[in-house]
Amino acid sequence: MERVIEWLRAKNPELTGEVGDDADLIESRLIDSLQFLEFIYLLEDISGRTIDLQEVTVDDFRTLTRIQERFLSPDAVEVG
């Protein structure tokens, strides 16, 4: 999760303080539509798995908690 937070900070230099596990990354515009595919590639690199965009919804990327559960935990289901 550290790489995800580093990426969020790099894309949002104005970000100060902690990124809460349940903060809405989409609503707060920490991830915008222009950065979304780059974010997907980051998650694929970290997890070592391909993410099929037809198998996910925007809610799968909404919070750090959901990202961890869906893509980065050992129990994460293959998406693709």
Residue 61 is assigned to a structural domain of this protein: yes
pTM given for the model: 0.87
pLDDT in tens, 7-64: 999 999 999 889 999 999 999 999 999 999 999 999 999 999 999 999 999 999 999 9
DSSP codes joined into one string, the chain? -HHHHHHHHHH-TT--S---TT--TTTTTSS-TTTHHHHHHHHHHHHTS---GGG--GGGGSSHHHHIIIIISTTPPP--
Residue 16 is assigned to a structural domain of this protein: no
Residue 45 is assigned to a structural domain of this protein: yes
Give the pLDDT band (50/70/90) at residue 80.
low
Domain limits at 38?
Answer: 2-10+23-72
Residue 65 is assigned to a structural domain of this protein: yes
Count CA atoms closer than 13 A to 53's CA, side-chain side. 7
| pLDDT greater than 60 at residue 3 | yes
Residue 33 is assigned to a structural domain of this protein: yes
Residue 80 is assigned to a structural domain of this protein: no
Q: How many domains does the chain have?
A: 1
Residue 17 is assigned to a structural domain of this protein: no
